[in-house]
Amino acid sequence: MSKKDQHVVPSTTGGWAVRRSGAERASKVFDTQKEAVAQARSMAKKEGSELYVHGKDGTIRQKSSFDKAPLPLKSKR
């Protein structure tokens, strides 16, 4: 995991938090997981990092990669 990766996790104060890997505090807290995922996805795309969406029990439910490097073109041979 990179330090730029974004995690959507349940907040201790209620709602859902967006937290960067290794950070102690959340970047922002949202009322719904959908809002938190939208913000975290935007941040991960901007940083070229990964997005991890956690469930209420803390397990990773979804992972998305937003690599800035372009995919290599396939040869037509």
Alpha-carbon distances of 39 from 13, 43, 61, 70, rounded to whole Å? 19, 6, 17, 23
Q: How far apart are CA 27 and CA 6, in angstroms?
A: 10
pLDDT reported for residue 77: 63
pLDDT reported for residue 70: 64
pLDDT reported for residue 9: 97
Alpha-carbon distances of 13 from 4, 47, 63, rounded to whole Å? 24, 27, 24
What's the pLDDT tens digit per position in 19-68?
Answer: 999 999 999 999 999 999 999 999 999 999 999 999 999 999 999 998 77
